[in-house]
Structure 1
Amino acid sequence: MDIKPTVDIINPVFQSTKGRLFAGTSGVLKTSSTRNAWAQLVNPLHSHVNLYVSFFALTNFSTKLVKADFVVNADPPGTPILSSDVSVLKLASNHKPVGQIFFNPHVSGSFSGGTVIGTRALSPLRTELGFRVDGRLIIEPGTNAMFFLTSRTSAESQIEFEWFESEAIF
């Protein structure tokens, strides 16, 4: 009997081979007792693709605790800044992401609308996976996912998003 080997490939690897896997970071987010910050992955309204989120990573560069609310479909305060730190993960690919990372490093007030679906306490001087979602979180056209950060003292953080884009999963 001739047995042929099989190999399991996780979906983000498969999507990367197609040039559809992207990653990017917000700028440095500066919070304090009077200032908040946020980073958001947005799928433009008429994009015609879905963003399948692989994971989020949250980094706290400070020696103080930072609180991160994970919120979907919210309107954040302040003026959004478009991150230029986004890249396709198949390095020889010329694909450009449809999804956009927006952030604001220091705002007063809170977000409006949306739904908080989780909260994380970011330990000092650590990077943590926020939620390992492996494509189960689907950001459809016109929707978004955001981390809204608060702290009691001055702190600096950064948020990383990884996602793949497709009209369908396969």
Structure 2
Amino acid sequence: MEKFKSVITTPDVRVQAEEGRLFSGSTEILQFGNSTSAWGRLCNPKQSTVNLFIDVFTISNFSDNPFTANLYRNSLPPGDRLKSSDVGNANFGSINSPEGVIQYNPSVNGVPSGGTRVIPRRVPSNETIADSIDGKAILPPGTSLLIFLTSDTLVKGEIQFAWWENRDITCY
């Protein structure tokens, strides 16, 4: 019996941009600390017809004090869900609009519910940290990646996401 080799390929981000399927965006400035937290998340709505392949996320700290960022898979954030208007196509000549949505809340009480905490991060003062995932994290319709920020002192930060969308790949 012939054995098949498993082959995994990650599409070139440049190709995704050329084809108008690469998107990026950010939250507004998030001001939190002491008794409040903040969050931003990339959501793939249930009615979406694509999978979101996360390329990179960044977390910027505009303050003199560090803060903590916890990443959650499929958690419900506390507070109102504001939709970012700072989202666009990386190909400036493309008319494609994203199905993925960036939501955020700059100052909330409470903690995420449900889902799974997957990655903790410490964000140094006056720095930006970036995690390049290169499409290895996939958000099928109805899923999300939440970044929840906490601090003991008043700080300001921002969360950015870059992803591509593809209708041709089925996720289970």
The structure richer in strand per residue is: 1
* Aligned residues between the structures: 160
Unmatched tracts of structure 2, length 5 or more? 1-9
TM-score for the superposition, normalised by structure 1: 0.92
- RMSD across aligned C-alpha pairs, in angstroms? 1.2
Q: Residues of 2 paired with 1:147 and 1:154: CA distance?
A: 18
Query: Equivalent residue for 1:45?
Result: 46
Using a 3 Å threshold, how does the CA distance of structure 1 residues 10 and 165 change in structure 2: closer, same or farther? closer
Q: Residues of 2 paired with 1:13 and 1:127: CA distance?
A: 23
Secondary structure at the aligned position of 2:74 is classed as: strand
Query: Equivalent residue for 2:61?
Result: 60
Q: Residues of 1 paired with 2:47 and 2:11: CA distance?
A: 29
Q: Residues of 2 paired with 1:17 and 1:110: CA distance?
A: 39
Q: Residues of 2 paired with 1:54 and 1:71: CA distance?
A: 17
Unmatched tracts of structure 1, length 5 or more? 1-8
The amino acid across from 1:140 in the alignment is P
How far apart are 1:48 and its partner, in Å? 1.3
Q: Residues of 2 paired with 1:144 and 1:31: CA distance?
A: 22
Q: Residues of 1 paired with 2:35 and 2:64: CA distance?
A: 18
Query: Equivalent residue for 1:136?
Result: 136
Identity %, equivalent residues: 37
Query: Equivalent residue for 1:158?
Result: 158
The residue correspondences of 1:105-124 to structure 2 (distance < 5 A) are 105-124=106-125
How far apart are 1:11 and its partner, in Å? 1.3
